[in-house]
Amino acid sequence: MNITLAQLNYHIGNFEQNTKSIIEQISAAKAEGSDLVVFAELAVCGYPPRDFLEFEEFISLCEAAATQIAAECMGIACIIGLPVKNVQPAGKDLYNAAYFIEDGKVKAIVKKALLPNYDVFDEYRYFEPATEFDCIEYKGYRIALTICEDLWNINNNPLYISNPMDELILQQPDLMINIAASPFSYLHDEERRQVLSDNAARYKLPLLYVNQVGAQTELIFDGGSMAYDSQGQLLDEMPYFETASRTYRFDGKGFPDLKPVAHQPVSDIAQIHDALVIGIQDYFRKSGFSKAVLGLSGGIDSAIVCALACRALGPENVMAVLMPSKYSTDHSIKDALDLVENFGCMHQIIPIKEAADAFDLMLAPAFQGLPFNLTEENIQARTRGVVVMAMSNKFGYILLNTSNKSECAVGYGTLYGDMCGAIGVIGDVYKTQIFELARYINKDREFIPENTIVKPPSAELRPDQKDSDSLPDYDTLDAILYQFIELRKTSAAIIEQGYDAELVRKVIKMVNGAEFKRYQTPPILRVSPKAFGQGRRMPLVGKYLP
């Protein structure tokens, strides 16, 4: 039996395009002699559909698309993921399910049992968990079909009290297939490979795994569909961050044409780079926009975002706006212009001195002679926000936010100023990673000017300002932030590791105090195990200080 894994990029609620892509893949697989083609979790509607699932019409459109797909399955079978109705009055109204379609008909429906309800996942909000499990009979073989999380309850600290495969293995299946929508983080691919390997070895069955690829707003899916033998050895690994399909010959015991292969590791920074590029591409493509605007300061953060946008959208679709103030240095302007020249993107120079001075003059009577402070710094940042938003409105550009994770964490940014935008490109990338990312972008030639990378970071909102005036050095800051945000360590636990007690408490207080800012910032492309946004939910006025 020949089985094709289809690793596609779906668009939530775009039934016409999703159906077209699925049918095209079925036709191609049939033409090359495949017997079965397998698509990802909720492939018909796209993942995660969230509250679209609460519209009855949305579910009807899923069913209509599945009927259209089924009509194409003559002489070939397919597995597609979609939500299906729960006909029982008790429980949630829907199941996260998969259709097994053969000869134009739905021959089996498999329902997901383990519904993740942590971090970015909230499936139990919508779906009822399955309680009955049956293998699929096809071409003389028994297939144990599971959906994503159904294979993840295999570690030493299980999240669920049951395992679907413990039930399915009693029916003596020949093969496991898992369809998934497994989001990317730069650590997740290692964990995913281990989970799949452990399942294959535990149940002594060969395993095929298919994941989707592409971005759905902040969530990025990296593909990397795989085949394993019954000892848990990796046999094949499909590309990451690319659509792809691959056909495997199954003989009842395994995949005789394949031999064990070693995973080819890719650095965290390379993965982050590729994820951010596809994140930008899909945000624009799926939103129906093509051109981006950003403020380009001459600093490393905006340089990184400009570089990524040029690679994602093409430099001809990127407008970099230089907005020097009276505190901007000549070298910052030169660095920004050098970057523009290196990439060939569009640019405008719009000084903000007159506008900022006008605000100062207008507010002088109300400020009653009080000295210059953070207020005037923020006026400059908000003036820049007005400029780039005006460019967005006038020309239909989408504004890219350039705040990094370190700044987002401690609130080192101006709400409605440099924190505005439609999508946060690097808001899940720590400052120390930003420097690594710059070196990676420059690995073949100097795109980002060397001076941009080596000069001390500065917001340039007052004379001789440096980030170090307000923040600890980024190596220390990011280490504390990682312990607190990603690892959820308390201040006491972090201090025990040797960090200065006063500094740790100050940093954590800054993180908690900036929650209201993050609540109002754009969605952030998720590349880490714990990103700001829907996967990290904190009270705005909570008193508890970990």
**pLDDT (tens digit per residue) in 73-95:** 999 999 999 999 999 999 999 99
Query: Is 112 a catalytic site residue?
Result: yes
CA distances from residue 540 to 246, 470, 512, 520 in whole angstroms, order as listed:
48, 23, 8, 11
Is 490 labelled a binding residue? no
Q: What is the mean pLDDT of residues 454-468?
A: 74
Is 162 labelled a binding residue? no
Average the pLDDT over each of 9-23, 270-284, 323-337, 374-388 and give the range with the smallest value: 323-337
Which two three-digit tokens encode residue 78?
């397919």
**pLDDT (tens digit per residue) in 150-159:** 999 998 778 9
- CA neighbor of 237 nearest in space, from 260, 203, 267, 215: 260
Please list the residues that pair with 177 across neighbouring strands: 145, 208
Is 302 labelled a binding residue? yes
Per-residue H/E/C for 139-187: CCEEEEEEEHHHHCCCCCCCCCCCCHHHHHHHHCCCEEEEEECCECCCC
For the full predicted model, state whether its pTM sits above 0.85.
yes
**pLDDT (tens digit per residue) in 92-113:** 999 999 999 999 999 999 999 9
Please tell me whether residue 381 adopts helix, strand or coil conformation: helix
pLDDT at 333 over 80: yes
pLDDT at 192 over 70: yes
**pLDDT for res 327:** 81
Is 290 labelled a binding residue? no
- CA neighbor of 333 nearest in space, from 307, 304, 297, 301: 297
**pLDDT for res 352:** 94
Is 403 labelled a binding residue? no
Cα distance between residue 140 and residue 61, in whole Å? 33
Q: Which of 30, 41, 286, 306 is catalytic?
A: 41
Is 491 labelled a binding residue? no
How would residue 174 be classed by pLDDT, with cut points 50, 70 and 90? Answer: very high
pLDDT at 459 over 70: no
**pLDDT for res 77:** 98
**pLDDT for res 424:** 98
Query: Is 92 a catalytic site residue?
Result: no
Query: Is 107 a catalytic site residue?
Result: no
How would residue 462 be classed by pLDDT, with cut points 50, 70 and 90? Answer: low
pLDDT at 457 over 80: no
Is 402 labelled a binding residue? yes
Note if the bond before 48 is cis, omega within 30 degrees.
yes
**pLDDT for res 155:** 81
CA distances from residue 47 to 12, 150, 151, 356 in whole angstroms, order as listed:
6, 16, 18, 44
Q: Which of 30, 111, 112, 431 is catalytic?
A: 112
pLDDT at 460 over 70: no
Is 295 labelled a binding residue? yes
Angle (deg, nearest 10), helices 374-395 and 353-367: 130
pLDDT at 359 over 90: yes
Task: Give the domains, in start order, of the chain with CATH numbers.
Answer: 2-252 (3.60.110.10), 271-467 (3.40.50.620)
Cα distance between residue 19 and residue 4, in whole Å? 17
pLDDT at 328 over 90: no
pLDDT at 165 over 90: yes
Report the alpha-carbon angle 110-111-112, nearest 5: 130
Q: Which of 45, 62, 135, 148 is catalytic?
A: 148
Is 4 labelled a binding residue? no
Please tell me whether residue 294 adopts helix, strand or coil conformation: strand
Is 298 labelled a binding residue? yes
As a whole-number percent, the residues of the chain with pLDDT over 90 amount to 91
Q: What is the mean pLDDT of residues 55-65?
A: 98
Please list the residues that pair with 536 across neighbouring strands: 533
Which two three-digit tokens encode residue 186?
């730069």
Is 16 labelled a binding residue? no
**pLDDT (tens digit per residue) in 484-529:** 999 999 999 999 999 999 999 999 999 999 999 999 999 999 999 9
DSSP-assigned letter for residue 135: P
Given the DSSP bridges, would you call strands 292-295 and 36-38 parallel, antiparallel or unpaired?
unpaired
Average the pLDDT over each of 236-245, 291-300, 468-477 and give the range with the smallest value: 468-477
**pLDDT for res 65:** 98
Report the alpha-carbon angle 434-312-426, nearest 5: 25
As a whole-number percent, the residues of the chain with pLDDT over 70 amount to 99
What are the strands of the beta sheet with 226-228, ordered from one edge?
136-138, 141-147, 175-180, 207-211, 226-228, 234-237
Is 418 labelled a binding residue? no
pLDDT at 349 over 90: yes
Please list the residues that pair with 398 across neighbouring strands: 292
